[in-house]
A and B are shown apart, each in its own frame.
Chain A
Amino acid sequence: MALRRRHLGIVLVALAIAVALGLFGRTISVACAYVSPNTPSSTDLVEEPLRWDDRTVSFVGEVIGEAMVRGDMAWLHINDDGYYLKNVEEGSGLHGYNAGMPVWLPADLARQVEVFGDYKHEGEVVEVRGTFNAACATHGGDMDIHATELVRVRPGHAVVDQVRPWKIALAAGLALLALILWWAQRVSGLTLERGAVTRRTP
Chain B
Amino acid sequence: MIVRPRREDHLVIGKYTGKIIVGVGLLMLIPLATSIAFAEWDTAVDFVISISACLAFGMGTQLVCRTERDLSWSHGFIVASGSWIVATILGALPHYLSGHEGSYLDAMFDVMSGYTTTGLYMLQDLDHAAMGLNMWRHLLTYAGGQGIVVIALTFLFKGTSGAYKVYVGEGKDERLLPNVVQTARAIWLVSLTWLVLGTLALFATGAWLGQGPVRAFFHAMWVFMGAWSTGGFAPQSYNTMWFHSLLYEVIAAVIMIAGSFNFALHWAVWTGKRREIVRNVETISFAVTLTITTLVATFWLAKSGVYPDAMALFRKAFYQLASGHTTTGFATIYSRAFVTQWGPVGMLAVTAAMAIGASACSTAGGIKGIRIGIISKAIVQDIRRMISPESSVVRTKFHHVRDIWLDDGLVRTAMTVTVAYLSMYAFGALLGTLFGYDFVQSAFESVSAGSNTGLSCGVTSPFMPWLMKVVYILQMWLGRLEFMSVFALFGYGYAVVRGR
- Which residues of A does B touch, CB under 8 Å? 18, 21-22, 25-30, 33, 46-49, 64-70, 74-75, 77, 79, 81-83, 87-89, 92, 94-100, 102, 117-120, 122, 134-137, 139-144, 161-164, 167-168, 170-171, 174-175, 177-178, 181-182, 184-185, 188, 192
Nearest chain-B residue to A192 (Cβ)?
B66
Do B59 and A88 touch (CB < 8 A)?
no
Do A83 and B63 touch (CB < 8 A)?
no
Q: Which of A168, A181, A192 contacts B56 (CB 8 A)?
A: A181
Do A26 and B465 touch (CB < 8 A)?
yes
Do B236 and A77 touch (CB < 8 A)?
yes
- Which residues of chain B have C-beta atoms less than 8 A from A134's C-beta? 306, 341
- Which residues of chain B have C-beta atoms less than 8 A from A182's C-beta? 55, 59
A107 to chain B minimum Cβ distance, whole angstroms, is 9
Q: A47-B340, A48-B340, A142-B241 are in contact. Are A88 and B42 (CB under 8 A)?
A: no
Q: Which of B130, B243, B315, B336 contacts A46 (CB 8 A)?
A: B336
Nearest chain-A residue to B41 (Cβ)?
A163
**In the complex, per-residue mask of B110-131: 1 if CB is within 8 Å of any chain A CB, else 0:** 0000000000000011111111
Interface residues on B, range: 35 or more
Nearest chain-A residue to B463 (Cβ)?
A28
- Which residues of chain B have C-beta atoms less than 8 A from A18's C-beta? 434
- Which residues of B does A touch, CB under 8 Å? 39-43, 45-46, 48-49, 51-53, 55-56, 59-60, 62-63, 66, 97, 99-100, 102, 124-131, 209-212, 215, 236-238, 241-244, 246, 306-309, 311-313, 315-316, 332-334, 336-337, 340-341, 431, 434-437, 458-459, 461-465, 467
Do B238 and A119 touch (CB < 8 A)?
no
Q: Which of B45, B131, B210, B336 contacts A69 (CB 8 A)?
A: B210
- Which residues of chain A have C-beta atoms less than 8 A from B212's C-beta? 66
Do A94 and B52 touch (CB < 8 A)?
no
A126 to chain B minimum Cβ distance, whole angstroms, is 15
Question: In the docked arrangement, what's the CA distance between A33 and B124, Å?
Answer: 12
Question: In the docked arrangement, what's the CA distance between A167 and B130, Å?
Answer: 17
Count: A-B pairs, CB below 8 Å: 204
B27 to chain A minimum Cβ distance, whole angstroms, is 15
Nearest chain-A residue to B103 (Cβ)?
A94
Do A26 and B435 touch (CB < 8 A)?
yes
Q: A26-B435, A30-B461, A98-B127 are in contact. Are A163 and B99 (CB under 8 A)?
A: no
Do A94 and B209 touch (CB < 8 A)?
no
Question: In the docked arrangement, what's the CA distance between A150 and B131, Å?
Answer: 29
Highest count of chain A CB atoms <10 Å: which of B46, B52, B337, B459: B52
Q: A25-B436, A139-B244 are in contact. Are A188 and B340 (CB under 8 A)?
A: no
A108 to chain B minimum Cβ distance, whole angstroms, is 14
Do A119 and B131 touch (CB < 8 A)?
yes
Nearest chain-A residue to B102 (Cβ)?
A94
The 8 residue pairs across chains A and B that have the minimum distance between CB atoms: A27-B436, A141-B312, A68-B210, A174-B52, A98-B237, A137-B308, A178-B55, A87-B128
Do B49 and A167 touch (CB < 8 A)?
yes
- Which residues of chain A have C-beta atoms less than 8 A from B462's C-beta? 94, 96-97
B245 to chain A minimum Cβ distance, whole angstroms, is 9
Q: A142-B244, A184-B63 are in contact. Are A119 and B128 (CB under 8 A)?
A: yes
Question: In the docked arrangement, what's the CA distance between A47 and B100, Å?
Answer: 25
Nearest chain-B residue to A83 (Cβ)?
B125
Question: In the docked arrangement, what's the CA distance between A47 and B306, Å?
Answer: 14
- Which residues of chain B have C-beta atoms less than 8 A from A167's C-beta? 42, 45-46, 49, 97
Q: Which of B49, B53, B59, B434 contacts A185 (CB 8 A)?
A: B59
- Which residues of chain B have C-beta atoms less than 8 A from A67's C-beta? 210
Q: Which of B40, B59, B337 contacts A119 (CB 8 A)?
A: B40
- Which residues of chain B have C-beta atoms less than 8 A from A79's C-beta? 127, 237
Do A25 and B435 touch (CB < 8 A)?
yes
Do B461 and A97 touch (CB < 8 A)?
yes
Question: In the docked arrangement, what's the CA distance between A72 and B315, Å?
Answer: 25
A42 to chain B minimum Cβ distance, whole angstroms, is 9
Question: In the docked arrangement, what's the CA distance between A142 and B39, Å?
Answer: 35
- Which residues of chain B have C-beta atoms less than 8 A from A122's C-beta? 128
A78 to chain B minimum Cβ distance, whole angstroms, is 11
Question: In the docked arrangement, what's the CA distance between A108 and B28, Å?
Answer: 42
**Given A27-B437, A46-B334, 19 additional A-B pairs, CB 8 A:** A21-B434, A25-B465, A46-B336, A64-B127, A65-B127, A65-B236, A68-B211, A100-B237, A102-B238, A119-B129, A122-B128, A135-B308, A141-B313, A143-B337, A164-B45, A167-B42, A167-B49, A181-B59, A192-B66
Do B210 and A70 touch (CB < 8 A)?
yes
Nearest chain-A residue to B129 (Cβ)?
A119
Do A163 and B42 touch (CB < 8 A)?
yes
B321 to chain A minimum Cβ distance, whole angstroms, is 14
Q: Which of A65, A81, A174 contacts B242 (CB 8 A)?
A: A65
